[in-house]
A and B are shown apart, each in its own frame.
Chain A
Protein backbone atom coordinates (compact mmCIF):
# COMPACT_ATOMS: atom_id res chain seq x y z
CA UNK A 1 0.00 0.00 0.00
CA UNK A 2 2.80 2.39 0.96
CA UNK A 3 4.70 1.54 -2.23
CA UNK A 4 1.56 2.12 -4.33
CA UNK A 5 1.03 5.46 -2.62
CA UNK A 6 4.65 6.47 -3.19
CA UNK A 7 4.42 5.48 -6.85
CA UNK A 8 1.17 7.43 -7.22
CA UNK A 9 2.77 10.55 -5.72
CA UNK A 10 5.81 10.14 -7.96
CA UNK A 11 3.78 9.59 -11.13
CA UNK A 12 1.43 12.51 -10.40
CA UNK A 13 4.41 14.73 -9.56
CA UNK A 14 6.01 14.02 -12.93
CA UNK A 15 2.82 13.78 -14.99
CA UNK A 16 3.38 17.22 -16.56
CA UNK A 17 7.15 17.15 -16.38
CA UNK A 18 9.69 17.96 -19.07
CA UNK A 19 11.11 14.79 -20.48
CA UNK A 20 14.36 14.17 -22.33
CA UNK A 21 15.57 10.90 -23.74
CA UNK A 22 18.99 9.87 -24.97
CA UNK A 23 20.32 6.64 -26.42
CA UNK A 24 23.87 5.50 -25.90
CA UNK A 25 25.56 2.87 -28.03
CA UNK A 26 29.07 1.58 -27.58
CA UNK A 27 30.98 -1.00 -29.56
CA UNK A 28 34.40 -1.95 -28.25
CA UNK A 29 36.60 -4.50 -30.00
CA UNK A 30 39.55 -5.41 -27.79
CA UNK A 31 42.74 -7.34 -28.42
CA UNK A 32 44.89 -8.82 -25.65
CA UNK A 33 48.32 -10.37 -26.05
CA UNK A 34 48.66 -12.62 -23.01
CA UNK A 35 52.10 -12.61 -21.47
CA UNK A 36 51.84 -16.15 -20.18
CA UNK A 37 52.89 -19.66 -20.88
CA UNK A 38 51.43 -22.90 -19.56
CA UNK A 39 48.66 -21.61 -17.28
CA UNK A 40 45.93 -21.21 -19.89
CA UNK A 41 45.47 -22.10 -23.50
CA UNK A 42 46.54 -19.71 -26.21
CA UNK A 43 48.44 -16.46 -26.19
CA UNK A 44 45.89 -14.05 -27.60
CA UNK A 45 42.32 -13.04 -26.92
CA UNK A 46 39.82 -11.07 -28.96
CA UNK A 47 36.78 -9.62 -27.28
CA UNK A 48 33.90 -7.54 -28.50
CA UNK A 49 32.09 -5.52 -25.85
CA UNK A 50 28.74 -3.92 -26.53
CA UNK A 51 26.60 -1.47 -24.62
CA UNK A 52 23.10 -0.19 -25.32
CA UNK A 53 21.60 2.29 -22.87
CA UNK A 54 18.55 4.53 -22.73
CA UNK A 55 18.77 7.57 -20.51
CA UNK A 56 15.43 9.11 -19.53
CA UNK A 57 15.19 12.32 -17.52
CA UNK A 58 12.09 13.96 -16.09
CA UNK A 59 12.14 17.36 -14.46
CA UNK A 60 9.41 19.50 -12.97
CA UNK A 61 10.02 22.60 -10.86
CA UNK A 62 12.42 21.52 -8.12
CA UNK A 63 12.16 17.81 -8.89
CA UNK A 64 14.30 15.67 -11.14
CA UNK A 65 14.16 11.95 -11.83
CA UNK A 66 16.38 9.91 -14.12
CA UNK A 67 16.69 6.28 -15.06
CA UNK A 68 19.22 4.63 -17.33
CA UNK A 69 18.77 0.95 -18.07
CA UNK A 70 21.55 -0.65 -20.07
CA UNK A 71 22.50 -3.90 -21.67
CA UNK A 72 26.13 -4.94 -21.63
CA UNK A 73 27.53 -7.85 -23.53
CA UNK A 74 30.84 -9.43 -24.40
CA UNK A 75 31.83 -11.97 -27.00
CA UNK A 76 35.19 -13.65 -26.47
CA UNK A 77 37.36 -15.71 -28.67
CA UNK A 78 38.24 -19.00 -27.06
CA UNK A 79 37.94 -19.32 -23.30
CA UNK A 80 35.43 -16.94 -21.80
CA UNK A 81 37.09 -14.93 -19.06
CA UNK A 82 35.98 -11.34 -19.42
CA UNK A 83 32.42 -10.84 -18.22
CA UNK A 84 30.95 -7.47 -19.22
CA UNK A 85 30.47 -6.38 -15.64
CA UNK A 86 34.23 -6.38 -15.07
CA UNK A 87 34.37 -2.62 -15.00
CA UNK A 88 37.50 -0.74 -14.16
CA UNK A 89 36.27 1.05 -11.03
CA UNK A 90 35.86 -1.46 -8.24
CA UNK A 91 32.85 -0.16 -6.37
CA UNK A 92 30.71 -1.47 -3.55
CA UNK A 93 28.40 -4.33 -4.21
CA UNK A 94 25.18 -2.42 -4.49
CA UNK A 95 22.06 -2.47 -2.35
CA UNK A 96 19.77 -3.04 -5.32
CA UNK A 97 20.96 -6.03 -7.25
CA UNK A 98 19.50 -4.96 -10.57
CA UNK A 99 21.75 -7.06 -12.77
CA UNK A 100 19.91 -9.76 -14.67
CA UNK A 101 21.51 -12.32 -16.94
CA UNK A 102 19.99 -12.20 -20.42
CA UNK A 103 22.05 -14.84 -22.12
CA UNK A 104 25.12 -16.93 -21.37
CA UNK A 105 26.88 -19.20 -23.78
CA UNK A 106 30.41 -20.55 -23.91
CA UNK A 107 31.85 -17.38 -25.38
CA UNK A 108 29.05 -14.85 -24.91
CA UNK A 109 27.53 -13.04 -21.93
CA UNK A 110 24.78 -10.41 -21.87
CA UNK A 111 23.32 -8.62 -18.87
CA UNK A 112 20.69 -5.98 -18.31
CA UNK A 113 21.29 -3.53 -15.47
CA UNK A 114 20.44 -0.07 -14.19
CA UNK A 115 23.26 2.43 -14.54
CA UNK A 116 21.30 5.31 -12.98
CA UNK A 117 17.97 5.59 -11.15
CA UNK A 118 17.61 8.52 -8.80
CA UNK A 119 15.29 11.24 -7.59
CA UNK A 120 16.58 14.72 -6.73
CA UNK A 121 15.05 17.78 -5.15
CA UNK A 122 16.76 21.12 -5.54
CA UNK A 123 16.02 24.41 -3.83
CA UNK A 124 18.39 27.28 -4.48
CA UNK A 125 21.82 26.06 -3.53
CA UNK A 126 20.73 22.85 -1.83
CA UNK A 127 20.12 19.42 -3.32
CA UNK A 128 18.79 16.22 -1.77
CA UNK A 129 18.96 12.93 -3.65
CA UNK A 130 18.13 9.26 -3.26
CA UNK A 131 18.95 6.43 -5.63
CA UNK A 132 21.72 5.32 -7.95
CA UNK A 133 24.05 7.94 -9.44
CA UNK A 134 27.79 8.60 -9.82
CA UNK A 135 29.57 9.89 -6.73
CA UNK A 136 32.87 11.55 -7.59
CA UNK A 137 35.33 12.62 -4.95
CA UNK A 138 38.71 14.30 -4.89
CA UNK A 139 40.81 16.23 -7.38
CA UNK A 140 43.35 13.93 -9.00
CA UNK A 141 42.88 13.01 -12.65
CA UNK A 142 44.20 9.43 -12.58
CA UNK A 143 44.97 7.96 -9.17
CA UNK A 144 41.87 7.16 -7.10
CA UNK A 145 42.99 8.20 -3.62
CA UNK A 146 39.55 9.59 -2.78
CA UNK A 147 37.55 8.71 -5.82
CA UNK A 148 37.34 4.96 -5.42
CA UNK A 149 33.75 4.93 -6.59
CA UNK A 150 33.57 6.34 -10.09
CA UNK A 151 36.97 7.30 -11.46
CA UNK A 152 37.59 5.42 -14.72
CA UNK A 153 40.96 3.75 -14.35
CA UNK A 154 42.94 4.51 -17.46
CA UNK A 155 45.64 1.98 -16.63
CA UNK A 156 43.36 -1.05 -16.18
CA UNK A 157 42.55 -3.32 -19.11
CA UNK A 158 39.05 -3.32 -20.54
CA UNK A 159 36.45 -0.65 -21.27
CA UNK A 160 36.36 2.27 -18.87
CA UNK A 161 32.86 1.59 -17.68
CA UNK A 162 31.78 2.50 -14.18
CA UNK A 163 29.07 1.19 -11.88
CA UNK A 164 27.26 3.81 -9.89
CA UNK A 165 26.51 3.24 -6.19
CA UNK A 166 23.14 3.30 -4.39
CA UNK A 167 22.52 5.80 -1.62
CA UNK A 168 21.09 9.07 -0.49
CA UNK A 169 22.54 12.40 0.52
CA UNK A 170 22.51 16.14 0.28
CA UNK A 171 24.74 18.96 -0.92
CA UNK A 172 24.63 22.65 -0.20
CA UNK A 173 26.75 25.71 -0.85
CA UNK A 174 26.88 28.97 1.04
CA UNK A 175 29.24 31.51 -0.46
CA UNK A 176 32.68 29.99 -0.64
CA UNK A 177 31.79 27.00 1.53
CA UNK A 178 30.15 23.80 0.29
CA UNK A 179 29.12 20.70 2.18
CA UNK A 180 28.16 17.34 0.76
CA UNK A 181 27.10 14.31 2.72
CA UNK A 182 25.98 10.94 1.52
CA UNK A 183 25.40 7.39 2.71
CA UNK A 184 25.83 4.54 0.27
CA UNK A 185 24.13 1.25 1.00
CA UNK A 186 25.77 -1.93 -0.17
CA UNK A 187 24.70 -5.50 -0.65
CA UNK A 188 26.31 -6.71 2.59
CA UNK A 189 25.48 -4.34 5.47
CA UNK A 190 28.63 -2.69 6.86
CA UNK A 191 30.97 -4.53 4.45
CA UNK A 192 29.70 -2.43 1.58
CA UNK A 193 28.30 0.59 3.43
CA UNK A 194 29.80 4.01 3.28
CA UNK A 195 28.83 7.30 4.96
CA UNK A 196 30.93 10.38 4.29
CA UNK A 197 30.86 14.13 4.79
CA UNK A 198 32.87 16.36 2.50
CA UNK A 199 33.50 20.05 3.22
CA UNK A 200 34.89 22.34 0.53
CA UNK A 201 36.30 25.83 0.77
CA UNK A 202 37.01 27.87 -2.36
CA UNK A 203 39.29 30.85 -2.42
CA UNK A 204 41.14 32.94 -4.97
CA UNK A 205 43.44 30.44 -6.66
CA UNK A 206 42.84 27.54 -4.29
CA UNK A 207 40.33 24.95 -3.16
CA UNK A 208 40.56 22.84 -0.01
CA UNK A 209 38.46 19.75 0.76
CA UNK A 210 38.08 17.72 3.95
CA UNK A 211 36.56 14.25 4.04
CA UNK A 212 35.55 12.10 6.96
CA UNK A 213 33.29 9.22 7.87
CA UNK A 214 32.79 5.48 7.62
CA UNK A 215 34.11 3.60 4.61
CA UNK A 216 33.68 -0.18 4.12
CA UNK A 217 34.11 -1.18 7.80
CA UNK A 218 36.82 1.43 8.42
CA UNK A 219 36.91 4.98 9.63
CA UNK A 220 38.33 7.31 7.02
CA UNK A 221 39.54 10.89 6.93
CA UNK A 222 41.31 12.93 4.30
CA UNK A 223 42.54 16.25 3.06
CA UNK A 224 42.65 17.39 -0.56
CA UNK A 225 43.70 20.70 -2.00
CA UNK A 226 44.36 22.37 -5.30
CA UNK A 227 46.48 25.52 -5.71
CA UNK A 228 47.17 27.68 -8.73
CA UNK A 229 50.89 28.33 -8.97
CA UNK A 230 52.13 30.43 -11.87
CA UNK A 231 49.17 29.48 -14.05
CA UNK A 232 49.42 25.76 -13.28
CA UNK A 233 47.54 23.59 -10.79
CA UNK A 234 49.17 21.69 -7.95
CA UNK A 235 46.98 19.08 -6.27
CA UNK A 236 47.27 16.94 -3.19
CA UNK A 237 44.93 14.22 -2.00
CA UNK A 238 45.47 12.11 1.11
CA UNK A 239 43.32 9.50 2.80
CA UNK A 240 43.72 7.73 6.12
CA UNK A 241 41.87 4.44 6.56
CA UNK A 242 41.62 2.85 10.00
CA UNK A 243 42.55 -0.70 10.93
CA UNK A 244 39.93 -3.43 10.54
CA UNK A 245 40.58 -7.03 11.64
CA UNK A 246 43.78 -8.19 9.89
CA UNK A 247 43.95 -5.11 7.66
CA UNK A 248 46.38 -2.53 9.06
CA UNK A 249 45.53 1.14 9.07
CA UNK A 250 46.95 2.87 6.05
CA UNK A 251 47.55 6.23 4.44
CA UNK A 252 47.33 6.92 0.73
CA UNK A 253 48.71 10.15 -0.69
CA UNK A 254 48.59 11.50 -4.22
CA UNK A 255 50.28 14.56 -5.69
CA UNK A 256 49.28 16.09 -9.00
CA UNK A 257 50.44 18.77 -11.38
CA UNK A 258 48.51 20.03 -14.38
CA UNK A 259 49.68 22.59 -16.89
CA UNK A 260 48.70 23.81 -20.33
CA UNK A 261 52.14 23.87 -21.97
CA UNK A 262 50.66 25.68 -24.96
CA UNK A 263 47.27 26.10 -26.58
CA UNK A 264 47.61 22.48 -27.79
CA UNK A 265 49.72 20.61 -25.23
CA UNK A 266 48.56 19.67 -21.75
CA UNK A 267 50.65 17.87 -19.16
CA UNK A 268 49.28 16.03 -16.15
CA UNK A 269 51.75 14.37 -13.80
CA UNK A 270 50.73 12.43 -10.71
CA UNK A 271 52.46 10.46 -7.95
CA UNK A 272 50.79 7.94 -5.68
CA UNK A 273 52.12 6.55 -2.39
CA UNK A 274 50.27 3.80 -0.51
CA UNK A 275 51.58 2.83 2.91
CA UNK A 276 49.96 -0.62 2.64
CA UNK A 277 51.27 -1.23 -0.87
CA UNK A 278 53.76 -3.95 -1.75
CA UNK A 279 57.43 -3.16 -2.20
CA UNK A 280 58.14 -6.20 -4.37
CA UNK A 281 56.12 -8.35 -6.73
CA UNK A 282 58.39 -11.18 -7.80
CA UNK A 283 56.26 -14.32 -7.79
CA UNK A 284 53.51 -12.59 -5.85
CA UNK A 285 50.10 -11.87 -7.33
CA UNK A 286 49.73 -8.63 -5.32
CA UNK A 287 45.99 -8.66 -5.88
CA UNK A 288 44.42 -5.18 -5.87
CA UNK A 289 41.44 -4.54 -3.62
CA UNK A 290 38.71 -1.94 -3.29
CA UNK A 291 40.92 0.39 -1.25
CA UNK A 292 43.94 -0.12 -3.50
CA UNK A 293 43.27 -0.62 -7.18
CA UNK A 294 47.03 -0.66 -7.65
CA UNK A 295 48.78 -3.03 -5.27
CA UNK A 296 52.23 -1.41 -5.07
CA UNK A 297 53.69 1.21 -2.77
CA UNK A 298 54.79 3.96 -5.15
CA UNK A 299 53.73 5.01 -8.64
CA UNK A 300 54.22 7.93 -11.00
CA UNK A 301 52.19 8.80 -14.08
CA UNK A 302 53.16 11.61 -16.48
CA UNK A 303 50.51 12.06 -19.18
CA UNK A 304 50.57 14.35 -22.22
CA UNK A 305 47.62 15.36 -24.37
CA UNK A 306 47.97 17.04 -27.76
CA UNK A 307 45.15 18.70 -29.68
CA UNK A 308 46.19 17.62 -33.16
CA UNK A 309 43.06 19.06 -34.77
CA UNK A 310 39.79 20.32 -33.31
CA UNK A 311 38.40 16.83 -33.90
CA UNK A 312 41.52 14.86 -32.96
CA UNK A 313 43.22 14.56 -29.64
CA UNK A 314 46.15 12.25 -29.10
CA UNK A 315 47.48 11.30 -25.71
CA UNK A 316 50.19 9.23 -24.13
CA UNK A 317 51.72 8.54 -20.77
CA UNK A 318 53.69 6.05 -18.72
CA UNK A 319 52.57 4.48 -15.49
CA UNK A 320 55.75 3.64 -13.57
CA UNK A 321 55.67 1.20 -10.68
CA UNK A 322 58.56 1.75 -8.24
CA UNK A 323 58.66 -1.72 -6.72
CA UNK A 324 61.96 -3.56 -6.23
CA UNK A 325 62.12 -4.11 -9.96
CA UNK A 326 60.87 -1.09 -11.90
CA UNK A 327 58.16 -1.77 -14.44
CA UNK A 328 55.95 0.37 -16.59
CA UNK A 329 52.73 0.49 -18.57
CA UNK A 330 52.77 2.63 -21.70
CA UNK A 331 49.41 4.31 -22.26
CA UNK A 332 48.76 5.69 -25.73
CA UNK A 333 45.73 6.47 -27.81
CA UNK A 334 43.51 9.05 -29.42
CA UNK A 335 40.01 10.52 -29.35
CA UNK A 336 38.38 11.41 -32.63
CA UNK A 337 35.05 13.17 -33.03
CA UNK A 338 33.81 11.09 -35.91
CA UNK A 339 30.49 12.93 -36.14
CA UNK A 340 28.40 15.30 -34.07
CA UNK A 341 27.19 12.46 -31.85
CA UNK A 342 29.90 9.88 -32.35
CA UNK A 343 33.36 9.54 -30.86
CA UNK A 344 36.05 7.00 -31.68
CA UNK A 345 38.62 6.25 -28.99
CA UNK A 346 41.73 4.08 -29.19
CA UNK A 347 43.65 2.97 -26.12
CA UNK A 348 46.76 0.82 -26.09
CA UNK A 349 48.27 -0.38 -22.82
CA UNK A 350 51.74 -1.85 -23.13
CA UNK A 351 53.60 -3.25 -20.11
CA UNK A 352 57.39 -3.17 -20.22
CA UNK A 353 60.39 -3.08 -17.89
CA UNK A 354 61.85 -5.67 -15.52
CA UNK A 355 60.38 -9.14 -16.20
CA UNK A 356 59.58 -9.80 -12.54
CA UNK A 357 58.22 -6.35 -11.75
CA UNK A 358 54.55 -5.60 -11.17
CA UNK A 359 53.84 -5.09 -14.87
CA UNK A 360 56.54 -7.44 -16.10
CA UNK A 361 55.90 -10.36 -18.41
CA UNK A 362 57.11 -13.05 -15.94
CA UNK A 363 55.65 -11.82 -12.67
CA UNK A 364 54.51 -15.28 -11.65
CA UNK A 365 56.69 -18.31 -12.36
CA UNK A 366 56.20 -21.83 -11.13
CA UNK A 367 58.57 -24.81 -10.93
CA UNK A 368 57.13 -26.32 -14.12
CA UNK A 369 58.44 -23.32 -16.06
CA UNK A 370 55.02 -21.75 -16.48
CA UNK A 371 54.90 -17.99 -16.24
CA UNK A 372 52.37 -15.17 -16.30
CA UNK A 373 52.54 -11.38 -16.53
CA UNK A 374 50.46 -8.40 -17.51
CA UNK A 375 48.81 -8.57 -20.91
CA UNK A 376 49.23 -5.99 -23.65
CA UNK A 377 45.78 -4.67 -24.53
CA UNK A 378 44.37 -2.46 -27.24
CA UNK A 379 40.77 -1.46 -27.73
CA UNK A 380 38.74 0.82 -29.94
CA UNK A 381 35.60 2.39 -28.53
CA UNK A 382 32.98 3.61 -30.98
CA UNK A 383 30.48 5.58 -28.94
CA UNK A 384 27.30 7.21 -30.21
CA UNK A 385 24.81 9.26 -28.24
CA UNK A 386 21.63 10.47 -29.91
Chain B
Protein backbone atom coordinates (compact mmCIF):
# COMPACT_ATOMS: atom_id res chain seq x y z
CA UNK B 1 0.00 0.00 0.00
CA UNK B 2 2.80 2.35 1.00
CA UNK B 3 4.54 1.44 -2.22
CA UNK B 4 1.44 2.34 -4.29
CA UNK B 5 1.06 5.69 -2.50
CA UNK B 6 4.75 6.42 -3.08
CA UNK B 7 4.43 5.64 -6.78
CA UNK B 8 1.33 7.83 -7.14
CA UNK B 9 2.91 10.77 -5.29
CA UNK B 10 6.13 10.42 -7.28
CA UNK B 11 4.25 10.20 -10.58
CA UNK B 12 2.05 13.16 -9.61
CA UNK B 13 5.13 15.22 -8.72
CA UNK B 14 6.70 14.60 -12.10
CA UNK B 15 3.43 15.09 -13.95
CA UNK B 16 3.14 18.54 -12.30
CA UNK B 17 6.74 19.51 -12.78
CA UNK B 18 7.23 18.38 -16.40
CA UNK B 19 7.01 21.01 -19.13
CA UNK B 20 3.91 20.40 -21.28
CA UNK B 21 4.88 19.89 -24.92
CA UNK B 22 4.48 22.93 -27.13
CA UNK B 23 5.31 22.75 -30.79
CA UNK B 24 6.55 26.33 -31.17
CA UNK B 25 6.47 26.42 -34.98
CA UNK B 26 3.00 24.94 -35.11
CA UNK B 27 1.73 27.46 -32.53
CA UNK B 28 3.19 30.40 -34.49
CA UNK B 29 1.62 29.02 -37.65
CA UNK B 30 -1.75 28.72 -35.90
CA UNK B 31 -1.41 32.26 -34.52
CA UNK B 32 -0.68 33.61 -37.98
CA UNK B 33 -3.64 31.69 -39.43
CA UNK B 34 -5.82 33.05 -36.64
CA UNK B 35 -4.77 36.65 -37.36
CA UNK B 36 -4.83 36.53 -41.16
CA UNK B 37 -7.14 33.67 -42.13
CA UNK B 38 -7.24 32.30 -45.65
CA UNK B 39 -8.65 35.65 -46.68
CA UNK B 40 -9.39 38.79 -44.69
CA UNK B 41 -11.29 42.00 -45.19
CA UNK B 42 -11.73 44.51 -42.46
CA UNK B 43 -12.30 48.07 -41.37
CA UNK B 44 -9.89 49.43 -38.80
CA UNK B 45 -9.35 52.65 -36.92
CA UNK B 46 -5.80 53.74 -36.33
CA UNK B 47 -4.98 56.21 -33.56
CA UNK B 48 -1.49 57.69 -33.63
CA UNK B 49 -0.63 59.18 -30.26
CA UNK B 50 2.23 61.55 -29.65
CA UNK B 51 3.07 63.60 -26.57
CA UNK B 52 1.82 66.73 -28.31
CA UNK B 53 -0.78 65.40 -30.73
CA UNK B 54 -3.25 62.68 -31.68
CA UNK B 55 -4.25 61.64 -35.17
CA UNK B 56 -6.94 59.23 -36.29
CA UNK B 57 -7.21 57.31 -39.54
CA UNK B 58 -9.80 54.90 -40.80
CA UNK B 59 -8.47 52.21 -43.12
CA UNK B 60 -9.84 49.31 -45.11
CA UNK B 61 -7.77 46.21 -45.66
CA UNK B 62 -8.02 43.08 -47.77
CA UNK B 63 -5.65 40.11 -47.82
CA UNK B 64 -5.58 36.92 -49.82
CA UNK B 65 -3.47 34.38 -48.00
CA UNK B 66 0.09 35.53 -47.42
CA UNK B 67 0.74 36.70 -50.93
CA UNK B 68 -1.54 39.63 -51.61
CA UNK B 69 -2.74 42.61 -49.62
CA UNK B 70 -4.42 45.96 -50.18
CA UNK B 71 -4.73 48.81 -47.68
CA UNK B 72 -6.72 51.97 -48.41
CA UNK B 73 -7.19 55.07 -46.27
CA UNK B 74 -10.78 56.27 -45.89
CA UNK B 75 -10.34 59.05 -43.32
CA UNK B 76 -9.23 61.78 -42.74
CA UNK B 77 -10.28 63.61 -45.89
CA UNK B 78 -6.71 64.81 -46.46
CA UNK B 79 -5.43 61.25 -46.89
CA UNK B 80 -8.51 59.61 -48.42
CA UNK B 81 -7.60 57.25 -51.23
CA UNK B 82 -3.93 56.77 -50.33
CA UNK B 83 -3.21 53.07 -50.48
CA UNK B 84 -0.77 50.21 -50.82
CA UNK B 85 -0.91 47.06 -52.87
CA UNK B 86 1.33 44.09 -52.19
CA UNK B 87 1.83 41.19 -54.52
CA UNK B 88 4.30 38.68 -53.06
CA UNK B 89 7.33 40.84 -52.21
CA UNK B 90 6.41 43.73 -54.54
CA UNK B 91 4.81 46.80 -53.06
CA UNK B 92 3.13 49.76 -54.76
CA UNK B 93 1.95 53.02 -53.29
CA UNK B 94 -0.93 55.02 -54.76
CA UNK B 95 -1.16 58.80 -54.48
CA UNK B 96 -4.71 59.89 -55.38
CA UNK B 97 -3.94 63.59 -55.78
CA UNK B 98 -2.07 62.91 -59.01
CA UNK B 99 -3.48 59.38 -59.53
CA UNK B 100 0.05 58.06 -59.49
CA UNK B 101 1.13 54.53 -58.73
CA UNK B 102 4.74 54.05 -57.67
CA UNK B 103 6.56 50.79 -57.03
CA UNK B 104 8.48 51.27 -53.83
CA UNK B 105 11.77 49.57 -52.94
CA UNK B 106 11.75 46.58 -50.58
CA UNK B 107 14.16 48.49 -48.31
CA UNK B 108 11.26 50.78 -47.39
CA UNK B 109 9.44 47.97 -45.58
CA UNK B 110 10.84 49.11 -42.24
CA UNK B 111 9.76 52.71 -42.72
CA UNK B 112 6.79 54.13 -40.92
CA UNK B 113 3.37 53.74 -42.53
CA UNK B 114 1.59 57.13 -42.62
CA UNK B 115 3.67 58.45 -39.69
CA UNK B 116 2.44 55.70 -37.35
CA UNK B 117 4.40 53.22 -35.21
CA UNK B 118 3.43 50.48 -37.66
CA UNK B 119 5.83 49.89 -40.53
CA UNK B 120 4.90 49.19 -44.14
CA UNK B 121 5.76 45.57 -43.40
CA UNK B 122 3.40 45.44 -40.40
CA UNK B 123 0.53 46.69 -42.52
CA UNK B 124 0.92 44.62 -45.63
CA UNK B 125 2.61 41.61 -44.00
CA UNK B 126 5.34 40.89 -46.49
CA UNK B 127 7.21 38.73 -44.04
CA UNK B 128 5.71 35.73 -42.27
CA UNK B 129 6.54 34.90 -38.65
CA UNK B 130 5.84 31.24 -39.39
CA UNK B 131 7.69 30.97 -42.71
CA UNK B 132 10.66 33.28 -42.25
CA UNK B 133 11.75 32.43 -38.68
CA UNK B 134 12.76 29.39 -36.65
CA UNK B 135 10.93 29.02 -33.33
CA UNK B 136 11.68 27.86 -29.82
CA UNK B 137 9.41 27.56 -26.81
CA UNK B 138 10.65 29.54 -23.76
CA UNK B 139 8.06 28.65 -21.14
CA UNK B 140 4.68 29.86 -20.00
CA UNK B 141 3.96 33.39 -18.79
CA UNK B 142 0.76 35.03 -17.66
CA UNK B 143 -0.29 38.30 -19.30
CA UNK B 144 -3.26 40.13 -17.81
CA UNK B 145 -4.57 36.89 -16.29
CA UNK B 146 -4.17 34.86 -19.50
CA UNK B 147 -1.69 31.98 -19.68
CA UNK B 148 0.54 32.39 -22.72
CA UNK B 149 3.37 30.47 -24.33
CA UNK B 150 6.48 32.55 -24.95
CA UNK B 151 8.06 31.81 -28.32
CA UNK B 152 11.44 33.09 -29.50
CA UNK B 153 11.61 33.63 -33.27
CA UNK B 154 15.01 33.77 -34.98
CA UNK B 155 15.22 34.76 -38.67
CA UNK B 156 16.14 32.03 -41.12
CA UNK B 157 19.26 32.76 -43.20
CA UNK B 158 18.38 34.84 -46.30
CA UNK B 159 14.78 35.38 -45.16
CA UNK B 160 13.42 38.77 -46.34
CA UNK B 161 12.89 40.08 -42.81
CA UNK B 162 13.79 43.28 -41.04
CA UNK B 163 14.09 42.13 -37.42
CA UNK B 164 17.01 40.45 -35.63
CA UNK B 165 14.73 38.56 -33.22
CA UNK B 166 11.09 38.39 -32.20
CA UNK B 167 9.47 37.29 -28.99
CA UNK B 168 5.81 36.33 -29.06
CA UNK B 169 3.41 35.57 -26.24
CA UNK B 170 0.63 33.37 -27.64
CA UNK B 171 -2.46 32.06 -25.91
CA UNK B 172 -1.95 28.35 -26.64
CA UNK B 173 -5.55 27.12 -26.94
CA UNK B 174 -6.99 29.60 -29.42
CA UNK B 175 -3.63 30.78 -30.68
CA UNK B 176 -3.96 34.55 -30.53
CA UNK B 177 -0.98 36.82 -29.88
CA UNK B 178 -1.15 38.98 -26.78
CA UNK B 179 2.29 40.50 -26.96
CA UNK B 180 5.12 40.72 -29.42
CA UNK B 181 8.57 42.27 -28.94
CA UNK B 182 10.65 43.29 -31.94
CA UNK B 183 14.44 43.36 -31.57
CA UNK B 184 17.06 44.83 -33.89
CA UNK B 185 19.96 42.78 -35.20
CA UNK B 186 22.10 44.21 -32.38
CA UNK B 187 19.61 42.85 -29.85
CA UNK B 188 18.01 46.16 -28.89
CA UNK B 189 14.27 46.16 -28.16
CA UNK B 190 12.78 48.50 -30.78
CA UNK B 191 9.03 48.01 -30.69
CA UNK B 192 6.41 46.22 -28.61
CA UNK B 193 2.94 45.26 -29.77
CA UNK B 194 0.29 44.49 -27.17
CA UNK B 195 -3.03 42.86 -28.04
CA UNK B 196 -6.13 43.43 -25.94
CA UNK B 197 -9.92 43.30 -26.01
CA UNK B 198 -10.05 39.77 -27.44
CA UNK B 199 -13.10 39.25 -29.67
CA UNK B 200 -14.50 36.57 -31.89
CA UNK B 201 -14.94 37.52 -35.56
CA UNK B 202 -16.65 34.54 -37.20
CA UNK B 203 -14.46 31.54 -36.37
CA UNK B 204 -11.42 33.68 -35.54
CA UNK B 205 -10.61 34.83 -32.02
CA UNK B 206 -8.20 37.75 -32.08
CA UNK B 207 -7.30 40.80 -29.99
CA UNK B 208 -9.39 43.57 -31.51
CA UNK B 209 -6.94 46.25 -30.30
CA UNK B 210 -3.28 46.15 -31.23
CA UNK B 211 -1.08 48.81 -29.66
CA UNK B 212 2.36 49.24 -31.16
CA UNK B 213 4.84 51.20 -29.02
CA UNK B 214 8.17 52.50 -30.24
CA UNK B 215 10.26 51.98 -27.11
CA UNK B 216 12.89 54.71 -27.44
CA UNK B 217 10.44 57.46 -28.33
CA UNK B 218 7.66 56.19 -26.12
CA UNK B 219 5.14 56.86 -28.87
CA UNK B 220 2.31 54.49 -29.69
CA UNK B 221 -0.26 53.68 -32.33
CA UNK B 222 -3.40 51.66 -31.74
CA UNK B 223 -5.09 49.69 -34.47
CA UNK B 224 -8.64 48.73 -33.61
CA UNK B 225 -10.62 46.21 -35.67
CA UNK B 226 -14.13 47.54 -36.19
CA UNK B 227 -15.18 44.94 -38.74
CA UNK B 228 -13.35 41.75 -39.67
CA UNK B 229 -14.38 38.95 -42.00
CA UNK B 230 -12.22 35.88 -42.46
CA UNK B 231 -12.04 32.93 -44.84
CA UNK B 232 -14.42 34.28 -47.48
CA UNK B 233 -14.26 33.34 -51.12
CA UNK B 234 -11.13 34.93 -52.63
CA UNK B 235 -11.83 38.07 -54.67
CA UNK B 236 -8.89 38.39 -57.10
CA UNK B 237 -10.29 41.64 -58.52
CA UNK B 238 -9.37 43.33 -55.22
CA UNK B 239 -5.66 42.73 -55.69
CA UNK B 240 -4.94 44.67 -58.84
CA UNK B 241 -3.88 48.19 -59.61
CA UNK B 242 -7.28 49.32 -60.86
CA UNK B 243 -8.84 48.46 -57.50
CA UNK B 244 -6.09 50.32 -55.67
CA UNK B 245 -6.71 53.36 -57.86
CA UNK B 246 -10.50 53.14 -57.60
CA UNK B 247 -11.92 56.16 -55.76
CA UNK B 248 -14.80 54.04 -54.45
CA UNK B 249 -13.70 52.72 -51.08
CA UNK B 250 -16.23 50.20 -49.80
CA UNK B 251 -15.41 47.18 -47.71
- Report A's interface with B, CB cutoff 8 A: 20, 22, 57, 59, 64, 66, 120, 122, 124-127, 133-136, 139, 141, 147, 150-152, 162, 171-173, 178, 202, 204-205, 207, 226, 228, 231-233, 258-260, 262-264, 266, 307, 309-311, 337, 339-343, 383-386
Contacts and interface: CB of A to CB of B under 8 A. Distances in A.
Contacts of A341: 76-78
A207 B103 contact: yes
B247 interface: yes
B99 A150 contact: yes
Given A57-B247, A341-B77, A386-B77, A133 B99 contact: yes
25 contacts: A20-B80, A22-B80, A64-B248, A122-B242, A125-B237, A134-B100, A135-B99, A136-B98, A150-B99, A152-B98, A178-B240, A202-B87, A205-B89, A231-B107, A233-B103, A260-B107, A266-B108, A307-B112, A307-B115, A311-B115, A340-B76, A343-B78, A384-B78, A385-B76, A386-B76
A57 B250 CA distance: 14
Given A310-B48, A340-B56, A226 B110 contact: no
B78 A310 contact: no
B99 A311 contact: no
Nearest to B54: A340
A62 B187 CA distance: 51
A4 B87 CA distance: 45
A141 to B, nearest CB: 8
B111 A232 contact: no
B203 interface: no
Nearest to A342: B78
A171 B245 CA distance: 11
Contacts of B242: 122, 125-127, 171-173, 178
A55 to B, nearest CB: 9
A124 B237 contact: yes
Given A59-B248, A136-B100, A228-B105, A22 B112 contact: no
A114 B153 CA distance: 55
A93 to B, nearest CB: 20
